[in-house]
Structure 1
Amino acid sequence: MAGRILIVDDEENMLRALSDVLRGQGWEVEVARSGEEALRHMEKTEMDIVFTDLKMPGMDGIELLERIKEMSPDTEVVVFTAYGSIESAVEAMKKGAWDYIVKPFEPEKVLLTAKKIFEHQALVRENLYLKEELGREYRFENIVGRSEKMQRIYQVIRKVAPTNANVLIYGESGTGKELIAHAIHYNSPRRDRRFVKVSCAALSQNLIETELFGHEKGSFTGAYTRRKGRFEVADGGTLFLDEVGEIPPEVQVKLLRVLQEHEFERVGGTETIKVDVRIISATNKDLWEEVRQGRFREDLFYRLNVVPIFVPPLRERKEDIPLLAKEFLKKYSLEMNKKIKKISKKAMELLMDYDWPGNVRELENTIERAVVFAKGEVITPDVLNLDQSPISGDGGRRTGTFNSSKSLYEREKSLISEVLEEANWNLARAARILQISRTTLYSKINKYGLRRPD
C-alpha cells in the first residue's frame, strides 16, 4: 500500500509544488487549505504523515497537531515555520511533532523527511510483526503434544505464566525445556520485554560470574571496558538459566542474593544495581540430589524451585510421536521447498519403536535429515537412519563393510561432502544432520579443503 500524505497550507503555490514532488514517489497525496479542512480529511482517511504550516488563518499548526495526535497517534506531523517562529516549532516538537522545517526550503527537503518517516514507520511495523510472530511461535498451544503428561504441563503454564513466580523446568536433554520457558515468558505480562538465555554449562566459573553480573573496566586482565551482565540486560523481562545445576558454589551465593534482594554489584564494582527480573531455570539433573551431595545450595534450590515443571522424555509419551513427526515434516518440507506429503506406515512404525535417547531434538533432526534425502512424496524407512550409520550418496544407509582401502580421513571427508551437497551447503542444516556443532563442521570443512561449487 502506498504511503498517505496530507499537506496543509494556505498558499496554493506551496501545495502545488509539494504535492507534485511527493506524488512523483508514488505516494498518495491530499491537500488542505486550513486546519479545519485537514481534520475533515483525517476523519475520512487515516494519514501516515501530515505536513502543516504553523501559521494559518483560523486553526493554527499547534492546535491541528494536538487534534491529529488525539485522532491518530501513529500519524507523524511535520510543521513548516518561518525563521522567527522557531520557539513555536520547538513547542510543536514537545507536543509530539516529528520535526520542523524552516521556510524557505526546497521541496527536496520535504521529500527526504517523508522518506525518513516512512522508513521509521516500516521498521516499527516490522518490529511489531516480529513480536507478534514470536508470541505466536511460543504460545503454549504450539508446544506439540496431546498426551496426558503434556496436557498437565499446559495447565501449569496457563497458571504460572501471568505471575512472577520463579519456575524450575526438569527434563532430559532435548525434551523442549527452553520452548516451555519461552512459552511462559511470551504468555506473561513481561512478553514485551527481553527474554535472555544463559547456558550455564558452557561457561567457566569466572566467565559465568561476569556473564550474569557484568564487570567494571579494569576489574581483571582483558576487561578494557565496562560490560553489563545478563541480569541488567534482562531487567523488566525474564532470565532463563539453562542447566542451572552447573553454576559453581561461589556464584550460587551471589545468585541467591539477587533472588532475595533484587540487587547485585558488577565484578570489580561497588555500585549496587537493582533489577526486576523473573527467573526461569532448567536442569537435566536431579537437583535435590545435588543439594544432598553438597554441590548445590539448599536455600538457592528453594528460591528457584517455586513452581517445578517435569518434562517427560519422548519414550514416555510415544503417542505424541506421530503428531511431532508430522509437524517437523511440514516445517522442513516448506523450508526446503519439497512436496513431501506424508510418512509411510512402515517408517512411522520405526519412529514409534525407537526409544529416542535424544528426545524431541533427535526426532526433529531425524525428520529434517529424512526430508533432505527423500526423493519422492513419502518419507520411507531407508532415509530415517535411526541407527546413525553413515549416510550413502543416495540418502540411504550404508550397508555391509566399508571399503578397507579408504582411510577414516577419506570416509569422513566423503560423508561431510555428501551431506553438504544434499543440504545445499546450508551449514546449520548440515550440522544438524551430522549431529555436530556448526563450529566443528566449519573446522572440518577447512581441514578437508571443501569448497562450495560455483
Structure 2
Amino acid sequence: MQSILIVDDLESIHEMLDAVIQPIGYNTAFATDGEIALQKIRDEHYDIVLTDINMKPMDGLSLLAQIKEADPNAIVIMMSGYANVENATQALKLGAFDYLTKPFKVDQLMLSINRASKERKRRLESGNTAAAQNSILLSGDSDLAKSFDERLSRSAKLPTPLLINGDPGTQKSNVAAVVHARSEQSGEPFVTIDAKKSEASELPELLFDGAGGPSEMIRSAKGGTLYIAGIDAISHEHQAPLGNLIRDLKGETRFICSSTRDLEQLVEAGEFEDALYFRIANNALQVPSLRDRPDDIAALALAYYAQNHLPFTSIGEGALALLQGYRWPGNYTEFQEVLAAAAEVGEGQVIREADLPDKLRDISSWPNLNDYLAEQSDRYKQAVLKACQGDSGKAAQILGLDEGDL
C-alpha cells in the first residue's frame, strides 16, 4: 500500500484529507510544517508528499527544494489557498508533480493523487527496466564483451569525470547507470540531464542557477552522479561555465557525460570548448556497436527474453544467421525492438527465422568490399592518431604511411 505524507499547518485540513484519502487505499501521515515533515521523511519512506505552500517557519517551496535535493524522484503535490502564478511556476520548476489551488474539488484531488501514484510506480518500474537493460547490454562471452566489461569497471572506480562515446542506439544512458552502480557513489543519487531532449532555452536553467552556480537539479546529485546525455548539444556559450562547474564540484559530485559525435573533431572545428573537453575526456569509454559483436548475438537475445520473462530459451539456426548478418544501424535499441516483435508472433520456446522481420533479409544496405575496407582504414587511422595525441608524424610512422596520407 502506498503512503502519503500530508503537510499543512491546519489540523482541520489533515482531518478532511485523511477522510478522503485513506478509504481509497493509502496510508497517511501528517506534519504541521516543513521542518517536521523533513524529519519524518528522514525517518520513514513516503511515496507521495502532499504539502501546502503557505506555512511557517519553513514554507512549502523550501520543503519541496529540500525533498528534491534528497530524492530527485520524489513525488510532491503542492497546495495553495492563493491562485499565485509565480508560486505555481516556481513549484513546477523545482520539480513539483502537480499544483492544486484551494478550495479544490475532491475529484480534482483524487485525479492528482491517482496520477502521482501511477507515476511513482512507473519510476520504480523504469528503474528496474534500466537495470535489466544494463545487464542485457553486458551479456556475451566474446573478447570484445569481456574487455568492455573490464574497462567499464575500471572507469567506474575512478572518481574523475567520465566521457561515454558510442553510436546512436548503444544505450549510453544504461552504461552510465552501470558505471554509477559499480562506483563508490552507488546508493547515492543518480540524476540525468538529457541535453538533446531538452529545449535549448531550458538548458541553462537545468545547468545553472541565477548566479551562474549549479542548478537545483545539479545540486540534487550531491554525493552521487550527475549524468549529462548528449553533451555535444549544449551551446558553445554554456560549455565553458559548465566546465567550471565540473571543476568546482570535484570531490562532491561525479560527472558522467555522453556523446554520439566525436568531441575531439568538434574541438578542432571550433564547435566545442577545449577546456570542457579536456576536463571530461581524460577518462573515456567507447561503447561497442552491436554489429561488432556477432558472437554475442545469441547471448544478448536470450538475456533480453529472460529479463522480460518471455518463454524463449533458444534461437534457431536460421534466425541466428539473420540476426548475426544484419548491420544493426539502430544498435541495441533496434535489436530489442526486433526481439520484442519476434516474441509477439513466435510460438513455443524457439525464435525461428519466420518470426523475424523482412528487413533483416535485405542485403542492399551492405557496402561493397572496397568501401567497407576504406571505412575501417579511416577508423584505424583516427584511432592511431588519437593514441599519438595528434602527432601526425608519429602516427604515420606507426601506420607505415606518408604523413600526407593521414
Q: 1:246 to 1:291 in 2, by over 3 A?
A: same
Q: 1:207 to 1:386 in 2, by over 3 A?
A: farther
Equivalent position to 2:171, from 159, 164, 176? 176
Instruction: Please give the alpha-carbon distance, in whole angstroms, between the structure 1 residues aligned to 2:132 and 2:329.
Output: 26
Instruction: Please give the alpha-carbon distance, in whole angstroms, between the structure 2 residues aligned to 1:182 and 1:156.
Output: 15
Q: 1:139 to 1:339 in 2, by over 3 A?
A: closer
Aligned to 1:186, the other structure's residue is in SS state helix
Match of residue 298 from structure 2:
322
| Cα displacement (A) at 1:315 | 1.0
| Cα displacement (A) at 1:300 | 0.5
Instruction: Please give the alpha-carbon distance, in whole angstroms, between the structure 1 residues aligned to 2:131 and 2:304.
Output: 17
Question: Which letter does structure 2 place at the counterpart of 1:172?
Answer: D
Q: Is the 8 A contact 1:239 1:279 kept in 2?
A: yes
Match of residue 261 from structure 1:
248
Q: Deviations over 1:206-251 (max 9, x none)?
A: 21111122459xx9xxxxxxx9532111111101111111110111
Question: Which letter does structure 1 place at the counterpart of 2:280?
Answer: L
Q: Is the 8 A contact 2:164 2:258 kept in 1?
A: yes
Match of residue 205 from structure 1:
200
Question: Which letter does structure 1 place at the counterpart of 2:164?
Answer: I
Q: 1:377 to 1:388 in 2, by over 3 A?
A: same
Equivalent position to 2:352, from 380, 385, 402? 380
Question: Which letter does structure 1 place at the counterpart of 2:249?
Answer: H
Equivalent position to 1:250, from 237, 242, 255? 237
Aligned to 1:174, the other structure's residue is in SS state coil
| Cα displacement (A) at 1:379 | 1.7
- Do structure 1's residue 348 and structure 2's residue 300 form an aligned pair? no
| Cα displacement (A) at 1:170 | 0.7
CA RMSD of aligned residues (A): 3.4
| Cα displacement (A) at 1:134 | 9.2
Question: Which letter does structure 2 place at the counterpart of 1:277?
Answer: T
Q: Is the 8 A contact 2:314 2:350 kept in 1?
A: yes
Match of residue 190 from structure 1:
185
Q: Deviations over 1:243-298 (max 9, x none)?
A: 111110111122011022239xxxxxxxxxxx921111111101111101111001
Q: Deviations over 1:27-59 (max 9, x none)?
A: xxxxxxxxxxxxxxxxxxxxxxxxxxxxxxxxx
Instruction: Please give the alpha-carbon distance, in whole angstroms, between the structure 1 residues aligned to 2:209 and 2:336.
Output: 36
Equivalent position to 1:236, from 223, 226, 239? 223
Q: Is the 8 A contact 2:165 2:287 kept in 1?
A: yes
Q: 1:386 to 1:297 in 2, by over 3 A?
A: farther
Instruction: Please give the alpha-carbon distance, in whole angstroms, between the structure 1 residues aligned to 2:133 and 2:356.
Output: 28
User: TM-score, with normalisation over the residues of structure 1?
Assistant: 0.48
Q: Is the 8 A contact 1:239 1:280 kept in 2?
A: yes
Q: Is the 8 A contact 2:166 2:289 kept in 1?
A: yes
Match of residue 337 from structure 2:
365
Alignment of 1:96-175 (within 5 A): 143-175=138-170
Q: 1:357 to 1:330 in 2, by over 3 A?
A: same
- Do structure 1's residue 310 and structure 2's residue 286 form an aligned pair? yes
- Do structure 1's residue 287 and structure 2's residue 282 form an aligned pair? no
Q: Deviations over 1:353-406 (max 9, x none)?
A: 1111111111111111111122333222222115189xxxxxxxxxxxxxxxxx
Aligned to 1:205, the other structure's residue is in SS state coil
Question: Which letter does structure 2 place at the counterpart of 1:308?
Answer: A
| Cα displacement (A) at 1:342 | 2.4
Question: Which letter does structure 1 place at the counterpart of 2:330?
Answer: G
Instruction: Please give the alpha-carbon distance, in whole angstroms, between the structure 1 residues aligned to 2:203 and 2:291.
Output: 33
Question: How many corresponding residue pairs?
Answer: 240
Question: Which letter does structure 1 place at the counterpart of 2:267?
Answer: V
Q: Deviations over 1:150-197 (max 9, x none)?
A: 322222222232331111011001113222211111111111111111
| Cα displacement (A) at 1:147 | 2.3
Aligned to 2:157, the other structure's residue is in SS state coil
Match of residue 400 from structure 2:
none
Aligned to 2:152, the other structure's residue is in SS state helix
Q: Deviations over 1:101-143 (max 9, x none)?
A: xxxxxxxxxxxxxxxxxxxxxxxxxxxx99x979975887972
Instruction: Please give the alpha-carbon distance, in whole angstroms, between the structure 2 residues aligned to 1:213 and 1:233.
Output: 12
% identity of equivalent residues: 24
Q: Deviations over 1:399-439 (max 9, x none)?
A: xxxxxxxxxxxxxxxxxxxxxxxxxxxxxxxxxxxxxxxxx
Structure 1 runs of 4+ aligned residues shifted over 3 Å read: 132-142, 338-341
Unaligned segments of structure 2, at least 5 residues? 1-43, 45-123, 362-406
Question: Which letter does structure 1 place at the counterpart of 2:266?
Answer: E
Instruction: Please give the alpha-carbon distance, in whole angstroms, between the structure 2 residues aligned to 1:134 and 1:171.
Output: 21
Instruction: Please give the alpha-carbon distance, in whole angstroms, between the structure 1 residues aligned to 2:132 and 2:360.
Output: 30
Larger Rg: 1
User: TM-score, with normalisation over the residues of structure 2?
Assistant: 0.53
Q: Is the 8 A contact 1:215 1:229 kept in 2?
A: no
Q: Is the 8 A contact 2:137 2:300 kept in 1?
A: no
Question: Which letter does structure 2 place at the counterpart of 1:161?
Answer: A
Instruction: Please give the alpha-carbon distance, in whole angstroms, between the structure 1 residues aligned to 2:177 and 2:144.
Output: 19
Unaligned segments of structure 1, at least 5 residues? 1-73, 75-128, 220-226, 264-274, 390-454
Instruction: Please give the alpha-carbon distance, in whole angstroms, between the structure 2 residues aligned to 1:342 and 1:202.
Output: 37
| Cα displacement (A) at 1:343 | 2.1
Match of residue 450 from structure 1:
none
Instruction: Please give the alpha-carbon distance, in whole angstroms, between the structure 2 residues aligned to 1:362 and 1:215.
Output: 41
Higher relative contact order (CA 8 A, sep 6+): 2
